[in-house]
Structure 1
Amino acid sequence: MGVTIKEVAKAAGVAPSTVSRVIADHPRISPATKKRVKKAMKEMGYHPNANARNLANRSTQSLGVVMPSSADKALQNPFFPEVLRGISAVAHEMDYSILLCTGETDEQMLEAVERMVYSNRTDGIILLYSQVNDPIMAFLIEQNFPFVVVGKPSERVDEITHVDNDNVRAGKEITNHLIEIGHECIAFIGGSTDRIVTIDRMKGYESALEEAGLPYLDEYRIHTEFLKSGGRQAVHELFSLPQPPTGLVIADDLMSIGVVNMLEELGMHVPEDISIVSFNNVYLSEITRPPLTTVDIHIHGLGSQAAKCLIEKVKNKEEPAKRIIVPFDIKYRSSTQEKEAPTEV
């Protein structure tokens, strides 16, 4: 078995991404570091793949796809298999393959993306998330490497091609549904506030409450992971309050399922005791009990549009930045119920 980049990196006392940069003769690597890495490569008998290096000026016919976390965690959420299905459909049609990139930490993910770029293993990259101060996005901009974001960039919006929904408007419309059926105590459960999708959906929620003259309380906003476990944790926090909410806006269907399960354990029922609205319209949202009222963001379309945009950028480096907004619609199901007015004594 041949020597790996990781083994060379360990012997030279550097990160694997530094070895990749040395192989690519990156100008930011100091002569001393280059000398140390090349010495380790020679002593260990490591030979870079010449074919991979020679791909710099011609297409690899592959697209890199960066997940927001480790694959085992991200793929628990049906959003990601569905968006990958959309990307794959276009990639297959255009004769491109797909390389998945994941990592447990931001640092690991950045190193993986750096290796992908420096070793010329892919023509362009799709980021399946958008977060504040993203080192990967900053790196791709610095390298002038073709990439597309699924979501809205936190900055330089007009300079970065991205495919998104109008999440602010979606958040407002789905919250208004709860207000229209009589709910006044409405909480929001979302992911990390580093994620732009959470920020935008929460902005829509707050805007709806403000226009209706309803308060949006800090204790009614919970931020956790986009997983069933995250939904269960949120229920514990919200229903320990002196005045628990009667309506919930939940930023992801998988979290909603965790919320429903936890409420049942507490002896509460949806929608009789609490109404729930959600986002994404993954396949689980229709078959769960009760079926979820949710915003259909057309996940497959987000993926296919992102792949089309990236291939356009790969084929034409001068392709201007685009903002593609995929329309959404609301699927009204049975997880909401009109709130009865309090009985007068």
Structure 2
Amino acid sequence: MTVTIKDVAKRAGVSPSTVSRVISNHPRISEETSLRVRKVMDEIGYHPNMMAKSLVSRTTSTIAVILPRPADELFQNLFFSEVIRGIVTQSTRSGYDLLMATGTTEREELETVTRLVRGRRVDGILLLYSRANDPVIAMLKEADFPFAIIGRNEDYPDILTIDNDNVQASYDATRHLISQGHERIGFVSGPPNLIVSRDRLAGYTKAVREARLPVRSDWIVEGEFLQESGYRAMSLLMGLPERPTALVVVDDVVTFGILCGLVELGYSVPKDIALVSFNNIVFSELATPPISSIDIGIYQLGYTASQELIRFIQHEHPSHALRHIIPHRLVVRESSLRRS
């Protein structure tokens, strides 16, 4: 015999409409009622027909997570694994599934997101990147579709963003190197079209100029968020007639490439060059030497992004701020300490 929503309601002592609201994670249902109803659902083996629910409510209880290009290199960087862990944890607790998508080109990425939006395949979109002049964001704005960005956006101040204060974080990292007595400080950046790269470069530049130290273009190297980029940066920087004695590096994975390059070239960290990086992934502490890194709260970025997007989808956004800043902290380890 098929168990119905009425059976759940009768046994839990609530109305069928209350059971429906529990299934839909309605914000006005108390936690006590929700727990009681879900316990009854488990006890009598009731499983809601999500397809039928979707047809009636015109919702999917699904969020699309749009991964940055190129996807084949994505999980070489543990930032994305950790941020997705935060997204999955919160969305699961809220009763939402995840759909992950990407594209190999800008056009393919736009077409993918457009299909998801026009087909109403998801209730909201979460972008794991922020680029300048992004056609995907322009399309989502025009469609008035719920979406959020992990990062900062310069083009639209009225969209939901979850980010760190990357300018201040990079300023703090650079000031730490200055406090260790360094006067020739370089910067290894990410792709220039990403807002996070621009912000971290801006923080570095601000700190160096405040200290009346030189900002030299040959000490600033752009690349990708990959180990290979760090390795290539070392070949360029250490071959200069006058090289920097310290570096602010845009990402821990890039720093691993720098360490590999320095070992091959016969240099020692921090004796020959000091390093401060970003993200404080688990391997930063295990590197040789352990890497000083800005902890940006990666898991919390993902968790908060999922939480705020779901609130937006459920029309709670008027009472919430659109810009959410996750605090950062500098974790000082051996790679940046000046040796006497």
Q: Structure 2: which amino acid aligns with 1:268?
A: Y
Alignment of 1:1-345 (within 5 A): 55=55, 58-157=58-157, 159-316=158-315, 319=318, 322-338=322-338
Asked if structure 1 preserves the Cα contact closer than 8 Å seen for 2:271 and 2:338, the reply is: no
What does the per-residue CA deviation read over 1:60-106, in whole Å, with 9 as the maximum and x for residues that have no partner?
01001011113321111000010000000101101111011112111
Report the CA distance shift for 1:339/1:288 in structure 2 as closer, same or farther (over 3 A). Answer: closer
**Percent identical residues:** 41
Asked if structure 2 preserves the Cα contact closer than 8 Å seen for 1:130 and 1:154, the reply is: no
Compute the displacement of 1:215 (Å). 1.0
Partner SS for 1:75: helix
CA distance in 2, matches of 1:116, 1:57: 17
Q: Structure 2: which amino acid aligns with 1:260?
A: L
Partner SS for 1:199: helix
Q: Structure 1 length as normaliser, TM-score?
A: 0.81
What does the per-residue CA deviation read over 1:185-220, in whole Å, with 9 as the maximum and x for residues that have no partner?
110001111111011111110010011010101111
Report the CA distance shift for 1:124/1:182 in structure 2 as closer, same or farther (over 3 A). Answer: same
Q: Structure 2: which amino acid aligns with 1:143?
A: A
CA distance in 2, matches of 1:87, 1:65: 9
CA distance in 2, matches of 1:136, 1:118: 13
Partner SS for 2:334: coil
Q: Structure 1: which amino acid aligns with 2:110?
A: L
CA distance in 2, matches of 1:182, 1:150: 35
CA distance in 1, matches of 2:287, 2:160: 35
Asked if structure 2 preserves the Cα contact closer than 8 Å seen for 1:271 and 1:336, the reply is: yes
Partner SS for 2:213: coil
The number of residue pairs the alignment matches comes to: 288
Report the CA distance shift for 1:109/1:220 in structure 2 as closer, same or farther (over 3 A). Answer: same
Asked if structure 1 preserves the Cα contact closer than 8 Å seen for 2:270 and 2:339, the reply is: no
CA distance in 1, matches of 2:56, 2:220: 48
Q: Structure 2: which amino acid aligns with 1:259?
A: I
CA distance in 2, matches of 1:135, 1:174: 33
Q: Structure 2: which amino acid aligns with 1:105?
A: T
Asked if structure 1 preserves the Cα contact closer than 8 Å seen for 2:311 and 2:317, the reply is: no
CA distance in 1, matches of 2:86, 2:69: 19
Compute the displacement of 1:238 (Å). 1.0
Q: Structure 1: which amino acid aligns with 2:249?
A: I
Report the CA distance shift for 1:55/1:295 in structure 2 as closer, same or farther (over 3 A). Answer: farther
Unaligned runs of 5+ in 1: 1-50, 341-345
Compute the displacement of 1:337 (Å). 2.7
Q: Structure 2: which amino acid aligns with 1:324?
A: H
CA distance in 1, matches of 2:327, 2:254: 23
Asked if structure 2 preserves the Cα contact closer than 8 Å seen for 1:182 and 1:339, the reply is: no
Q: Which residue of 2 aligns with 1:41?
A: none
Q: Structure 2 length as normaliser, TM-score?
A: 0.82
Q: Which residue of 1 aligns with 2:26?
A: none
* Structure 1 residue ranges (4+ consecutive) displaced by more than 2 angstroms after TM superposition: 54-57, 317-321
Q: Structure 2: which amino acid aligns with 1:279?
A: F
CA distance in 2, matches of 1:275, 1:214: 17
